[in-house]
């Protein structure tokens, strides 16, 4: 069951890019709460605390804004142009009994037995879109791949999901493969082409000596 994390948030009265930059410089992150046909509330949250929770896969929060408490779900996290620093957060109000759609990390555990035969595990997708109750949102979906043999293919439909959690992606979508990686003829040709070419004919030892003597005469 997803844990509801309680955080203190402050009302945000000053809006705009300059005001938001001042907030971020002071260790705060601007955010907005909306949904359920209620008023939109602009807030600020402690950057370090909220960032730590997000890195651990948290989705569900109870935000204490003055005397009011809002049960919310992370809907969008905006990053800076480098994709590193969080600069804004969107929260949607939720009821603990409603089903929601979220994207969670997909983690493959174990060593495929196909690796003993020269295979290499290649994970194609690292996130999974799921539908479940708000209280059932997992921080991560984990699947054991130790039984995958050489040339095995893992599909979305093969994933072991928690109870009451449904994957929304096509069941035939490939999650991972275990295949032997072989050098292709094209790669070999590329490597051969990369070798330096010798321009012209290499002079014989006598010719080289004659050339040197001729240069001395001049």
Q: What pLDDT shows up at residue 116?
A: 93
Residues 89 and 109 in one domain: no
Which residues make Cβ contacts (< 8 Å) with residue 30, sequence separation at least 6?
Answer: 12, 20, 23, 24, 42, 43, 44, 87, 88, 89
Residues 10 and 89 in one domain: yes
Is 54 part of any domain? yes
Is 23 part of any domain? yes
The rounded average pLDDT for each run of 10 residues, N- to C-terminus, in the chain (218 residues) is 83 87 92 94 94 91 92 93 92 93 95 94 96 93 96 96 95 96 56 52 46 44
Q: What pLDDT shows up at residue 3?
A: 72
Please give the full DSSP string across 43-102, using - where no structure is assigned: EEEEHHHHHHHHHTT--EEEEEETTEEEEEEEEEEEE-TTS-SEEEEEEEE--TTSEEEE
State the pTM of this model.
0.70
Total domains in the chain come to 2
| Pairing of the two strands 86-93 and 153-155 | unpaired
Residues 45 and 124 in one domain: no
Q: What pLDDT shows up at residue 47?
A: 94
Is 209 part of any domain? no
Per the structure, the complete domain to which residue 33 belongs is given by 5-94
Is 114 part of any domain? yes
Q: What pLDDT shows up at residue 4?
A: 83
Please tell me the distance from the alpha carbon of residue 7 to that of residue 119, in angstroms, as a whole number. 46
């Amino acid at each position: 069951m997803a844990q509801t994390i309680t955080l203190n948030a402050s009302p945000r009265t000053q809006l705009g890019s300059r005001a938001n930059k001042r907030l971020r410089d002071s260790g705060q992150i601007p955010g907005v709460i909306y949904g359920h046909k209620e008023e939109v509330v602009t807030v600020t949250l402690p950057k370090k605390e909220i960032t730590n929770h997000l890195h651990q896969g948290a989705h569900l929060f109870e935000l204490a804004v003055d005397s009011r408490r809002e049960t919310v779900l992370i809907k969008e996290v905006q990053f800076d142009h480098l994709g590193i620093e969080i600069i804004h957060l969107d929260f949607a109000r939720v009821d603990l009994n409603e089903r929601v759609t979220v994207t969670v990390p997909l983690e493959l555990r174990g060593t495929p037995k196909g690796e003993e035969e020269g295979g290499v595990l290649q994970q194609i997708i690292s996130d999974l879109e799921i539908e479940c109750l708000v209280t059932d949102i997992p921080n991560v979906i984990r699947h054991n791949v130790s039984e995958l043999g050489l040339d095995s293919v893992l599909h979305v439909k093969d994933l072991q999901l928690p109870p009451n959690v449904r994957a929304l992606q096509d069941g035939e979508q490939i999650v991972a493969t275990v295949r032997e990686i072989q050098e292709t003829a094209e790669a070999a040709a590329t490597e051969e082409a990369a070798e330096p070419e010798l321009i012209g004919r290499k002079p014989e030892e006598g010719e080289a000596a004659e050339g040197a003597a001729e240069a001395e005469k001049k």
